[in-house]
Amino acid sequence: MRVMAQMAMVMNLDKCIGCHTCSVTCKQAWTNRSGTEYVWFNNVETRPGLGYPRTYEDQEKWRGGWEVTRRGRLRLKGGNRFKKLATIFSNPKLPSINEYYEPWTYDYSTLTDAPAQEHTPVARPRSLISGENMKVEWSANWDDDLGGSTATAHRDPMLKKIADKVKFEFEQTFMFYLPRICEHCLNPSCAASCPSGAIYKRSEDGIVLVDQDRCRGWRMCVSGCPYKKVYFNHRTGKAEKCTFCFPRIEVGIPTVCSETCVGRLRYIGLMLYDADRVLEAASVAEDQDLYEAQRSVFLDPFDPAVVREAERAGIPRDWLDAAQRSPIHALINRYKVALPLHPEYRTMPMVWYIPPLSPVVDVVKDTGEDAEDTGNLFAAIDALRIPVEYLAELFTAGDVAPVDRTLKKLAAMRSYMRDVNMGREPNAAIPQGVGMSEEEMYDMYRLLALAKYDERYVIPPAHAEQAHSLEELATECSLDYDGGPGMGGSGPFGEGSGSPTPIAVENFQMLQNRQSADTLAGPAGKASRVNLLNWDGKGAPSGLFPPKSQGPGPVAPGSTPDTSDDGATGSGGTGGLTGGADLR
Amino acid sequence: MSEFFFVVFPYICVTVFVVGHVWRYRYDKFGWTTRSSQLYENRLLRIGSPMFHFGILFVFLGHVMGLGVPESWTSAVGLSEHWYHVLAISIGAVAGFSTIVGMVILIYRRRTVGPVFSATTRMDKFMYAVLASVIVLGLVNTAGQVVADYNYREGVSVWFRGIWRGALYPQLMEEAPLSFQVHGVLAMFLFALWPFTRLVHVFSAPLGYLTRPYIVYRSRDDAELGSHRPRRGWERIGS
């Protein structure tokens, strides 16, 4: 037994309202830079739908993940090491930018610059890739809320599998949202596909990261990941992926997507697993056995033998406590309501989902029956095969039994808790019917419905010996960073060459660059701009005010000796402000 | 003059090549990448890139043979001068042709596909010009072998090996045809340019992939991004 700890997430899909707050905040925090315009580390898909990038789930087309050979050996679906090296000069399975979408902005300046004319000027979409005018035809979420799904949804690879039973018609439709991040798999095929060995799994918390210094841009990880959650930054020529917000996790705060989730549907916690058994579990013959196989790899943090082995493996005591209190452990192994996304890819994903009961509830409600009655719901779960089979294609490789069990537990919880909340006599037969005790049912209700912050997120900080250097903002770096490599711009070796910048600082700077740029992409003169987020309010850094073309104005004695055009700055008082106002 | 071009210049270039790479590797690991543009355009790349790259790999091997192995060695294993040339020219022509067709496709693609062109730096353009000249001249030399009879293995090759041993034969280069001289000097210049271009990706050929375990585990180290001040590097001026 080799005990390892894994930071994992569970999302309760019933609560997702499809607001995309997670996507937007994640984008603001991580991918708001040129080169990553099309990148969404977190995206929310409407299902049924094509997903992002389009039809990524069709592994016969994209060849991501692993497959098991007839002799029971696990191999990369995209081909072995030799094949990867032989195709290194032109990756045969790389989605083009159009499979994601061509990112764009609008030519907003025409709204104010346009001469007087008969018609209202229009801000036309401009491609952020080529800078040309473009026709917007697809995006990361084009089929949001089933928009246009009559035209596209039949191409949903998961719907195709049950297509002989379903004709996608709006009269019989169902819908739910699927937020996705990197799965931080136990058996990551992106890491296995990386020729440079730049993608690694952190041994402390299992977070899968790309070493930006080692990545050489071979793009095999993009093809290797069946979830298509590794992206190629087309400006820096490096792969980037969801980092599980490790700078936040290390200080014990949840990821940005979780923290900002309006529905509070995300849970973060530790799972202990036996690293020696991962390969064996990923190699089971039948796809439908993978859910149970993966569950069997997880270790019970209350088992004294596991605790002993964990301590031997160097897992700190507070991490063991966190593993025992982990909501993930509770949802996956105690209540067994969380299911993995596409276990058939055999990567052992570690972001699990509680399948939504709402498609079922909605149908019952529409019939006018009581949608919180176990009998009605159970009957509906049995009758509504299409949503249930669809969920099974997503979460259990098509095996409806675990999905049925989970949905029935959720339905039972609804009915049971309604009695409790209405002050009626709780019906102990309901939890029993789904194999739970009343107390367990209440605990599950507490975790799923009340979802207290400190119960949703049980995140032990990384070890305090290094606490200072783990502070999120990398405090050693301050204003002197302005104009440093993080300010972007294109050197002789291309965008982003030079030494890396601390993540947080870089992002604030990139964000600021983007927001203050007048041009579409790769704005010029970025280096002369000021990062107000890093400004401590003292003095007036050069570039704070626009250059003065004429008129005297106080020149700050304390301003940095800077020979840029913006060198003449105000002293931070009104003199500077009026000096600036002349030009605006 | 010939002493400068055929003695001093090669040493300068080799020095820049070595020191430049060490410097680039130490201070610009982040910029050390293939800078692939496959995301923008795949149809032309799928044909052009393998043609060019496999072609140039064989061209490289041909140079190792032609420049690195003395004529006496191949004679010793019983390969006559005539047959050596037939082999060298035929393989060289195929590899060179593949390289040059691939290169033409790639340069055409780079110029005509908007996003690819806008992702091209000035350094790229300069490097492509030098690289293309070297390749074209090399093919001219190969083709010239068919008609004129210059035995480079007694001229250029001896000069080239001499550079490494400190034995200087500029006169051998002086006697060589002009296209050989220019090819050699431009190639030397390309080596000097090498560490400052995207060509550095040649040295990241991922051969270690064949032997390493599939899944790499690494401990969270303190020098990781976000937890530390970045290493000393250069700062850009302007944009």
Q: From the list A89, A213, A487, which residue is nearest B53 (CB)?
A: A89
Q: What is the pLDDT of residue A151?
A: 77
A149 HSE (CA, 13 A, CB side): 24
Is residue B38 within 8 Å of A90, Cβ to Cβ? yes
- pLDDT tens readout for residues A129-174: 888 899 999 999 998 988 877 777 778 888 777 765 555 555 567 8
Q: Which residue has the higher pLDDT, A82 or B232?
A: A82
Average pLDDT over residues A474-484: 39
Contacts of A218 in chain B (CB under 8 A): 34, 36, 206
Query: Kind of pairing, strands A104-106 and A230-233?
Result: unpaired
B30, A526: Cβ pair inside 8 Å? no
A554: preceding bond cis by omega (within 30 degrees): no
What would the DSSP string read from start to end of A501-530?
--HHHHHHHHHHHHHH-SSSSS-TTGGGS-
pLDDT of the residue at B239 = 42
DSSP state of A315: -
The pLDDT of residue A297 is 97
Q: How far is Cα A510 from Cα A497, in angstroms, rounded to an integer?
A: 15
Contact map slice: B 41-60 vs A, CB within 8 A: 41-42, 45-46, 49-50, 52-54
pLDDT of residue B186: 95
Mutate to test the interface with A, among B216, B231, B237 (most CBs of A within 10 A): B216
Rounded Cα–Cα distance for residues A298 and A272 (Å): 6
Report the Cα A293 to chain-centroid distance in Å: 25
Question: How many residues are recorded in chain A?
Answer: 584
What pLDDT does residue B193 have? Answer: 96
Residue among B34, B35, B209 minimizing CB distance to A197:
B209
Find out whether A294 and A348 touch, Cβ atoms under 8 Å. yes
Q: Beta A494-495 vs B217-218: how paired, if at all?
A: unpaired
Nearest to B10, CA basis, from B186, B179, B138:
B186
Query: Which domains are seen in chain B, by residue range?
Result: 2-207 (1.20.950.20)
Paired strand residues for A202? B218
Flag whether pLDDT at A528 surpasses 60. Answer: no
User: Mind listing the pLDDT tens digit for each residue in A3-19?
Assistant: 999 999 999 999 999 99
CA distance B50 to A91: 10
The highest-confidence range among A172-176, A491-495, B72-76, by mean pLDDT, is: B72-76
Q: Min CA distance, B209 vs chain A (Å)? A: 5
Query: Percent helix, strand, coil in chain B (nearest 5)?
Result: 70, 0, 30
Please indicate whether residue B222 or residue A114 has the higher confidence score (pLDDT): A114
Question: Are A487 and B198 a contacting pair at CB < 8 A?
Answer: no
Q: Which residue has the tokens 């041994």?
A: A203
Q: What is the dihedral of CA A316, A320, A321, A322, to 10 degrees?
A: 100
Cβ-defined contact of A502 to B229 (cutoff 8 Å):
yes
* Residues in chain B within 8 Å Cβ distance of A490: 121, 239
Average of per-residue pLDDT across B172-194: 92
- The answer, for B223 touching chain A at a CB cutoff of 8 Å, is no
Q: What pLDDT was estimated at residue A510?
A: 57
Distance from CA of A52 to the nearest CA of B (A): 15
For position A368, what pLDDT does the model report?
Answer: 84
Q: Encode pLDDT of A513-523 as tens digits.
A: 555 666 554 44
Other residues' Cβ atoms within 10 Å of the Cβ of residue A452: 11
pLDDT band at A492 (very low <50, low <70, confident <90, very high): low
Three-state DSSP at A480 gives helix
State the pLDDT at residue A321: 95
pLDDT of B185 reads 94
SS3 A468: helix
**Distance to chain A for B68, nearest Cα, Å:** 27
Give the pLDDT mean for A226-231.
Answer: 97
Measured on CA atoms in the order A181, A186, A187, A188, is the torsion positive or negative? positive
Question: Which chain B residues are closer than 8 Å to A205 by Cβ?
Answer: 220
Among all residues of chain B, which has the CA nearest to that of A467? B227
- For residue A84, give the nearest of B42, B213, B206 by alpha carbon: B206
pTM for the model stands at 0.83
- Predicted confidence at residue A579, as pLDDT, reads 37
Query: Which pLDDT belongs to residue A452?
Result: 92
CA gap A458, A222 in Å, rounded: 31
Give the per-residue pLDDT at A150.
72
Q: Note the pLDDT of residue B74.
A: 86
Share of chain A above pLDDT 70, in %: 79
**Minimum CA–CA partner of B48 in chain A:** A90
Can you tell me the mean pLDDT for A328-332? 97
Q: What ipTM score was computed for the predicted complex, to two decimals?
A: 0.87
Contact by Cβ (8 Å): B31, A501:
no
Q: Identify the burial level of A158 via C-beta atoms within 10 angstroms of its C-beta, where 0-12 means exposed, 13-18 middle and 19 or more buried.
A: buried
Q: Name A370's Cβ contacts closer than 8 Å, sequence gap at least 6.
A: A364, A376
* pLDDT given at position A107: 92
> With 70 as the cut, is the pLDDT of residue B28 above it?
yes
Find chain A residues with C-beta within 8 A of B28's C-beta. 493, 497-499
> Model confidence at A462, in pLDDT bands (50, 70, 90)?
confident
A543 versus A339: the higher-pLDDT residue is A339
The mean of the pLDDT values for chain A is 83
* A189 contacts A347 by C-beta, under 8 angstroms: yes
Average pLDDT score, chain B: 87
Q: Are strands A351-354 and A3-12 parallel, antiparallel or unpaired?
A: parallel
**C-alpha–C-alpha distance, residues A196 and A192, integer Å:** 10
> Given its phi and psi angles, is residue B177 left (phi above 0), alpha (psi -120 to 50 degrees) or beta?
beta
The structure tokens listed for A250 are: 């290390």
User: Is it the case that residue A106 has pLDDT exceeding 70?
Assistant: yes
What span, in angstroms and rounded, lies between the C-alpha atoms of A257 and A26? 6
* More confident position, A172 or B178: B178
Dump pLDDT digits (tens) for A395-407: 999 999 999 999 9
What is the band of A380 on the pLDDT scale with cuts at 50, 70, 90?
confident
Q: What pLDDT, in 10s, does the model give residues A417-438?
A: 999 999 999 999 999 999 999 9
- Closest partner residue to A200 (CB to CB) among B35, B216, B222 is B216
Mutate to test the interface with A, among B39, B57, B211 (most CBs of A within 10 A): B39
